[in-house]
């Protein structure tokens, strides 16, 4: 196996050292805040299997930079809202830490859910599931 220059865990640690991390109970308390936009970067299958935070926006990890960049042909207007606080999350906080660090490098201010969706229900956070498909 080739020797890596850095590990994924090291990258996550470096990202966490320079981004804002939000604790699960604090984000639950902001759930009804119209100025908070919760962005779920997990795979669609994760959302189907274990549910999602009500009102969250789904933005797959692989498209984030393109959806956020106003010069990209894939830009999504949800990421151009003035005065909003964006909080990204994944399952455990690793992907979202790397994502937020990258977005900060682009000039997009955001935070991430420190422990990810994995602790959301344990802290009493509500969960929704997509509608079941017939067939």
Structure confidence by residue, pLDDT tens digits, 15-29 = 999 999 999 999 999
Alpha helices (H) along the chain: 8-16, 24-29, 44-50, 64-68, 94-106
The yes-or-no verdict on residue 7 having pLDDT over 90 is yes
The string of pLDDT tens digits covering residues 39-51 is 999 999 999 999 9
Look at the chain and report how many structural domains it folds into. Answer: 1
CATH of the domain at 99: 3.40.250.10
**Is 32 within the bounds of a domain?**
yes
**Is 130 within the bounds of a domain?**
no
Of 129, 121, 112, 130, the closest CA to residue 41 belongs to: 112
8-16 vs 94-106: helix axis angle to the nearest 10?
60
- Residue 134's pLDDT is 64
Full residue range of the structural domain in which residue 118 is found: 8-123
**Is 133 within the bounds of a domain?**
no
Give burial (CB, 10 Å; 0-12/13-18/19+) of 81: exposed
């Amino acid at each position: 196996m080739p020797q890596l220059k850095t590990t994924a865990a090291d990258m996550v640690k470096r990202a966490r050292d320079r981004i804002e991390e939000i604790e699960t109970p604090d984000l639950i308390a902001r759930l009804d805040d119209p100025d908070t936009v919760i962005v779920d970067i997990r795979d669609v299958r994760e959302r189907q299997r274990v549910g999602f935070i009500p009102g969250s926006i789904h933005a797959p990890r692989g498209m984030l930079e393109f959806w956020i960049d106003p010069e990209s042909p894939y830009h999504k207007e949800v990421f151009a809202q003035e005065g909003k606080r964006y909080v990204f999350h994944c399952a455990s906080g690793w992907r979202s830490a790397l994502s937020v660090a990258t977005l900060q490098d682009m000039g997009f201010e955001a935070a991430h859910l420190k422990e990810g969706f994995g602790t959301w229900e344990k802290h009493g956070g509500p969960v929704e599931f997509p509608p079941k498909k017939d067939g």
